[in-house]
Amino acid sequence: MADTNPGDGGARKLKDYWAHGPGAIKIRWGQPGDFDRCRTEIQKTITKNGRPPLPDHVIDGLCSNLHVEATGARPGHAASEKGAH
């Protein structure tokens, strides 16, 4: 479905929520397991009203991009994650 209100800031608000806001608190970016928590928390939010979950490749890409936004690095490569694996 096309965005009927491009530029309204909806996507930016969601990104901020998950990368820096209340969603980020749930995910605890930069701590071991953050990528898996991202997948779990976002899928839980999406499916709570009966919607189907995002396909694996979509949720993985989304969480990878959010990880970069939140930590400045791809999953497993943030400074706080070095040596945690």
Domain-wise residue ranges, the chain: 28-81
What does the block give as tokens for 35? Answer: 């990528």
Q: How high is the pLDDT of residue 39?
A: 98
- Provide the 3-class DSSP secondary structure of residue 31: coil
pLDDT in tens, 35-61: 999 999 999 999 999 999 999 999 999
Q: Report the candidate in 82, 81, 67 with the shortest Cα–Cα distance to residue 24.
A: 67
pLDDT in the model for residue 38: 98
Q: What is the mean pLDDT of the chain?
A: 90
